[in-house]
Structure 1
Amino acid sequence: MKKPLIVITGASSGFGAEMAKLFNADNYPLLLLGRRVDKIKALPLNFDNVLVKSVDVTDLESFQAAVLEAEERFGKVDLLVNNAGVMLLGNVWKQDPSEWQTMLDTNVMGVLNGMKTVINSMMDRKGGTIINISSIAGRKTFGNHAVYAASKFGVHALSETVREEVSGHNVRVMVMAPGAAETELLTHITDQDAVDTYENWKTSMGGTTLDPIYVAKTVKYMYELPQEVSIREVLIAATSQDA
């Protein structure tokens, strides 16, 4: 039986790359979106069942065009994982406002663009799933995380609101909120004091944070439950994470 199309944003590394590998190994057709397509194409995937497109999630038109191309090849999107995100830590009084805008555009507008692209079709078909990747920083605050936390609190709020609005159409909107994890997010930070503070915190917990594979496995489990079952929100972190 042919499996339905899955779209994953931010698929070049971290959670997105691990999800791509898991779903691909189970023969799901995939649309993988990211700005670094060379990294996506270097993943150990069977690309016979994969379309890779260079898309900035803040660009609604290119997002929609990529999804349309994938749907013409594989059928309608059944799962969208809004995974693309950036984490630029720092204090508000020191941080360049352009970094605030980057986080808000990618972490909030990118999620909205993805939802806008697929949700009408899902409602019409009375089925489909959207999983928004947020953060524990969308539920509690941390030093140096003010704008990042604001963006992730926003993801939780918009996800819960839309979930309420579309549940009657048999469409699921779920949130996956990981704690600190071994991804590339830290490499984007320009404030060295913020990086040092994070690294000291990580060392105080034993130097190990969450392996992205466990986020990917949990997302796959959430999706593969029957359509009438919705795990609304998951918070997942390394056992040693103390906050």
Structure 2
Amino acid sequence: MPKPLIVITGASSGIGAATARLFSAEGHPLLLLARRLERLEALGLPDALCRKVDVTDRAAVEAAVREAEERYGPADLLVNNAGAMLLGRIADQPVDEWERMLDINVKGLLYATRAVLPAMVERGAGTIVNIGSVAGRKTFPNHAAYVGTKFAVHSMSENLREEVAATGVRVVTVAPGAVETELLSHTSDERIKSDYQAWKESAGGALDPDEVAAAIAYAYGRPRNVTVREIVLAATGQEA
């Protein structure tokens, strides 16, 4: 029996790419969304529809999901992984960095969710996994705007879970600590980047993205009448 479609945003690197590889190996068709099409195609995964889509473009997200569903059938899992981590202090961080994080981390998550949720509710089945963060549960220096977006992810996820629980749709938050991804490289303040890297090394390194992908697969693989509401994971040496 063919396996159902899985949609992954921010699939060109890090957690998204690791999750794509894992579910592809399990035989699922995929819709992979990211701004870097060449990175998606370089994954070389079978039955993977790769589309250059910025999650802040709601119409493009909707169109890609409809195209994939026409080819592979209804989306059974959405992994809302696309995100930006731009660290800085509220007093001097460029305001456009706040706006970019809010657009991607909050609005982009909502846009992708809307693209799959009504059909999931109608079918009475489906899973949405939102990638939160330990920074969606506690604060960190130089993280104020980013923390705000991740607290939003956690609260929206829980509220959505309450909304759809009776319909059979599952909502899961996966909240990693520091992960070896490209996220830090987008921060514009070199001192903050250096301090973050030193903090990560002092903890003995960060999580491998494959570990986060495995957590996503674990939650998705539970029986349909079981929702793992939240998974929080971090490198053992990460104290905070």
Give the TM-score of the pair, scaled to structure 2: 0.99
Cα deviation code 1:108-141 (max 9, x no counterpart): 0011001111111011000000000011000000
1:73 to 56, 61, 71: 71
**What is the CA distance between 1:94 and its match in structure 2?**
1.0
**What is the CA distance between 1:52 and its match in structure 2?**
0.4
Q: Check conservation: 2:203, 2:235, Cα contact below 8 A.
A: no
d(CA) in 2 for partners of 1:97 and 1:117? 29
Give the number of equivalent residue pairs.
240
Q: Check conservation: 2:179, 2:207, Cα contact below 8 A.
A: yes
SS at structure 2 position matched to 1:109: helix
Q: What does residue 5 of structure 1 align with?
A: 5
**What is the CA distance between 1:225 and its match in structure 2?**
0.9
**What is the CA distance between 1:40 and its match in structure 2?**
1.1
Which amino acid is the alignment partner of residue 229 of structure 2? R
Q: What does residue 240 of structure 1 align with?
A: 237
d(CA) in 1 for partners of 2:197 and 2:23? 32
Which runs of no fewer than 5 residues in structure 1 stay unpaired?
none
Which amino acid is the alignment partner of residue 122 of structure 2? D
Cα deviation code 1:185-239 (max 9, x no counterpart): 0110101121021012123223x11111000011011101111100000101000
Which amino acid is the alignment partner of residue 166 of structure 1? V
Which amino acid is the alignment partner of residue 51 of structure 1? L
User: 1:29 and 2:26 equivalent?
Assistant: no
Q: What does residue 191 of structure 1 align with?
A: 189
SS at structure 1 position matched to 2:223: coil
**What is the CA distance between 1:21 and its match in structure 2?**
0.4
Which amino acid is the alignment partner of residue 205 of structure 1? A
Percent of matched pairs sharing the same residue: 54
Which amino acid is the alignment partner of residue 225 of structure 2? E
Which amino acid is the alignment partner of residue 23 of structure 1? F
Cα RMSD over matched residues?
Answer: 0.7
List 4+ stretches of structure 1 deviating above 4 A: none
Q: What does residue 228 of structure 2 align with?
A: 231
Give the TM-score of the pair, scaled to structure 1: 0.97
SS at structure 2 position matched to 1:78: strand
d(CA) in 2 for partners of 1:7 and 1:22? 13
d(CA) in 1 for partners of 2:198 and 2:2? 48
Cα deviation code 1:153-192 (max 9, x no counterpart): 0000111001001000000011000000100001101011
Cα deviation code 1:51-81 (max 9, x no counterpart): 0001110111000000000000000000000
SS at structure 2 position matched to 1:90: coil
Cα deviation code 1:64-110 (max 9, x no counterpart): 00000000000000000000000000101110100000000000001
d(CA) in 1 for partners of 2:21 and 2:44? 7
1:1-243 superposed matches below 5 A: 1-46=1-46, 49-206=47-204, 208-243=205-240
d(CA) in 2 for partners of 1:50 and 1:193? 39
SS at structure 1 position matched to 2:7: strand
SS at structure 2 position matched to 1:173: strand
d(CA) in 2 for partners of 1:128 and 1:68? 16
Which amino acid is the alignment partner of residue 23 of structure 2? F
SS at structure 2 position matched to 1:226: coil
SS at structure 2 position matched to 1:53: strand
Q: Check conservation: 1:21, 1:44, Cα contact below 8 A.
A: no
d(CA) in 2 for partners of 1:175 and 1:167? 14
